[in-house]
Structure 1
Amino acid sequence: MSAPAPTPSTSATRIVIAGAGPAAQALVSQLDRASFAGTITVLSSRDDTPEELLELALLPQVSVRFGQPASHIDAVNRTVATADGLEFSYDHLVIATGSAPVANPVEGAAQCLSYSTIDDAARIAEAVGRVTRELGRRPLGILVGNGTAAGQAEAVLRARGVRPIRTTARPAAVVPGQSVSGLAASAVVFEDGSSMSGDLVVLAEERVARDGLAASAGLRTAASGGIVISQDFRTSVPGIWAIGDAAAYDGVRLGLLVAAASAAGACATQLLTAASAGPVLQAAA
């Protein structure tokens, strides 16, 4: 999706983003490309400094606070406090805290493919292409999971010529293989000792939106998890928005509906429009 067209904005506008994952990074990039003239503060839970975040931190209007996740929102006074006790005032707050797996990782899971959002589709498609070229035939895939994510993963695999064998039983471990394509897993083993073998393994397990920060601030959340948003990414509280896998639209995690870059582009357009409109009106007490 192309960057939103430049929209006049006031230099006094302060945007705070709670979270520093792909959706948050894409939003900062889109706002920068649209010549946003205010300030952007990113509150990251990560103590390390990945290259993509360092690049954003170099932008003149951006401040990335590493290892300082948002811990409390005061929606009335429009402030966000971090776990270290720092407080940041905002005109617009964007919650992009992502999602987390429901269960502990399967042993060896790092050696196989995973599907949790639409953004994973391109990575899986690329990996399947490598395996297909290496094998010289149509690959056989083991797909673990249930629900929307697993259904989307199966569609991706079939579209790329993979013969998927789907199981909803959770394996005890992923077994390393001998592939030189970069995929080191080709089988799974279950608790009872039985196993399933193929040419690649894809885990599409259930995840839950990290919506605790929003819920504690009184934002409406979905019964199945996730911060409820409207089509323009607004939450139930004025001045607070949500994107990425922390958000839910029509009861479904946003990451399963819209790619992070597309959501960020659309949200950036809305934020720029809101910034040019003036101060945020507060909800009635």
Structure 2
Amino acid sequence: MVDAHRTFVIVGGGLAGAKAAETLRAEGFSGRVILIGDERDHPYERPPLSKGYLAGTDERDSVFVHEPAWYASADIELHLGQPAVHIDREGQSVRLGDGTRVHYDTLLLATGAEPRRLDIPGTSLAGVHHLRRLAHADRLRGVLAARGRENGHLVIAGAGWIGLEVAAAARSYGAEVTVIEPEPTPLHTVLGPELGTLFADLHSEHGVRFHFGARLTEIEGHAGMVRSVHTDDGEEHLAHDVLAAIGAAPRTGLAESAGLALAEGPGGGIAVDSSLRTTDPRIFAAGDAAAVQHPLLGTRLRVEHWANALNSGPAAARAMLGQEVSYDRVPYFFSDQYDVGLEYSGWAPPGSYDEVVCRGDVGKREFIAFWLRDGRVLAGLNCNVWDVTAPIQSLIRSNHSVDPQSLANPDIPLGDL
């Protein structure tokens, strides 16, 4: 029996929001739980959108966090296809797009992120794509299959994780792919030049063409359809479709209009403390939109990846229930491209490390790479080497200096370090 005297509202129908709702019930909360999502689909996970589902190896139903019937069985009230447009902090209510007002005692903002847009001529042409929502993946999956049959050309703006994963999926269908990237290597701002070349070689071996050191300046069309793209160095590339994969921006408009503090700096996000509480004690934030004061890393950090949504939603739910929470998860993400699978743990932005140490065979793409500063492990990436995430994260958490030669020696177990 639901106790209607307490109402927890979750704005955001993604993984973080769904896991928060699940955790509230698992922790014994008996009040109303209302989940608001601006998409009509039930909450789903985003990794398959650029991996298995996009590549055609996973079915559509596999992306959903719960079976649709689960929400009713758990007494979770759903408002799907309804954006939240305003928060009245004094009146403790959320107004939806249709004018409905929903009261809350405690509110969680899991509003996620949205794809950054290309600010160039031609973006309104048919054949210009983004990949953030299930509807985007539905459409792009059909496009890739068609381009594969027709030997069509896909141009991808951006050689980050999404750009590379879509490139791999497109090549699996047989589509021609050109990736345009302003940096000198793929994943340059994440992995640096030390490992970026590895991914350039991997994709080149599978027929992907790269154009580094350039940006798109125009998408040219004919009869309303994409025909080619132009770059700032004067080059032109044939294109039937264009994917903008230039990153994502946190969806902070609702929080900002409510007067909640936002994080400063390029990452942005809704500023929260280590318990995921905003500057309003009744409002919390989790997932891609939240910029957490990270107790382990000693900085404010916004993480857009799957593991953060998976773990921060439940952490926020526990904090909403009054439990002691210190969200200090080591950032983690994974990627699958062709026959290469990898996991990355930690945080090592450009300029933060002074050495990269590898153990294993980089040439065979079976190795672990470590980013170090003063001998301390900041981050680790395991490529086609498995069951090492726990010891890598332990090395990061220890904050102790490690002998680089021992770190590079595969005969010394990571646990011994």
**Does the aligned pair in 1 maintain the 2:286–2:312 contact within 8 Å?**
no
Secondary structure, aligned partner of 1:68: coil
Any unmatched runs of 5+ in structure 1? 1-9, 176-184, 279-285
The one of 104, 107, 118 equivalent to 1:90 is 104
Q: 1:277 to 1:32 in 2, by over 3 A?
A: closer
Give yes or no for the alignment of 1:151 onto 2:189: yes
Matched ranges for 1:1-285 at <5 A = 13-31=6-24, 36-46=29-39, 48-50=40-42, 52=64, 55=68, 57-100=71-114, 101-103=116-118, 105=123, 107=125, 108-110=127-129, 120=162, 124-125=164-165, 128=168, 131=171, 142-144=179-181, 151-152=189-190, 158-159=198-199, 161-163=202-204, 165-170=211-216, 172-173=218-219, 189-190=229-230, 194-196=235-237, 203-223=244-264, 224=266, 225-249=268-292, 253-255=302-304, 259-276=305-322
What is the CA–CA distance in structure 1 between the aligned matches of 2:190 and 2:229, rounded to whole Å?
A: 23
Q: Deviations over 1:29-58 (max 9, x none)?
A: 454555654432112223x34574872543
Per-residue deviation, 1:233: 2.0
TM-score, normalization by structure 1: 0.64
Residues 203-261 of structure 1 deviation map (CA, whole Å, 9 limit, x = unaligned) = 43144322121111110012443211223322111121112332234565431xxx234
- RMSD of aligned alpha carbons: 4.6
1:64 to partner: Cα distance = 1.2
Contact 1:18 1:44 in 2 (8 A): yes
Between 60-69 and 22-31, the greater mean CA deviation after superposition: 22-31
Contact 1:221 1:227 (C-alpha < 8 Å) held by counterparts: yes
Q: 1:140–1:165: 8 Å Cα contact kept in structure 2?
A: no
Structure 2 unaligned blocks of 5 or more? 43-60, 130-139, 141-153, 205-209, 293-298, 325-417
Offset of 1:63 from its aligned partner?
A: 1.1
CA, structure 1 residues 14+190, in 2 after alignment: closer, same or farther (shift >3 Å)? same
Q: Of the two, which has the highest radius of gyration?
A: 2
Q: How many residues align?
A: 247
Partners of 2:173 and 2:309 lie apart in 1 by: 33
Higher strand content, 1 or 2: 2
* Deviations 1:54-113, CA, capped at 9 Å, x for gaps: 725434321111232212212234222222222222232111222332446575343566
Deviations 1:98-144 (A, max 9, x none): 233244657534356687997x59xx558638847979xxx986144
Q: Which has the higher contact order (CA 8 A, sep 6+)?
A: 1
